[in-house]
Amino acid sequence: MIKKIFLIFISYFIFINNSYSVTGNGEIVLSNHVISGYIRYLDMNSVHNSSYGAEVQKGNPSFFAVSKSGREYGYSYCPRGKQCVFDPTLALQGCRKRANERCYIFDRKRKIVWENKNYKISRKANSSEIREILEELGFTGNKKNNSSVLKSTEEKKPKITKKNNNLSNNIVKELKELDELFNSGALSKEEFEKAKKKILN
């Protein structure tokens, strides 16, 4: 009896490990049907299953699986206020049932893990932004060349060239000399302001 329980435990452990290792790899183009499903999966306010009671219809994304062809999907979520086992099995089973083909994990808890991209989708991202992200990552078949979605929101610092640096140093030097002339009484305030304006312009 103990041996039988031990074998069941080992089998379950192997199954779970295999489930976790089924992250997708290679090129894939997601259908509009799958993209719409992915957006619904990410939406915290989506009703995931209307046949359930109201208290478990909505929840947090857990796993999103896609079929090998990119035409079907399945997902799992954790109902709000509930504690859930972090397991991809439900998402994979839902996908396989619809697709009748091999399915792979595309997303774990809002993070795209296909091809080890590990791209986290913000909770604030709307449906059009999610579509743009998928396009930029190459999942729609028409990747843009110039991406504004995936770039950091930080502004790039202006490139300081040697020429610009020398120019700045000269201006500082001239202003310092001008200030010394004014402080020594060699220039009136009017002459000082006029010369200062000329340097700065």
Model pTM? 0.60
User: How many of the other CB atoms lie within 10 Å of CB of 107?
Assistant: 27
Complete DSSP assignment for 29-51: ---HHHHHHHHHHH-TT--S-TT
pLDDT tens per residue, range 92-114:
999 999 998 999 999 999 999 99
Q: How confident is the model at residue 177 (pLDDT cuts 50, 70, 90)?
A: confident
Q: How far apart are CA 182 and CA 95, in angstroms?
A: 80
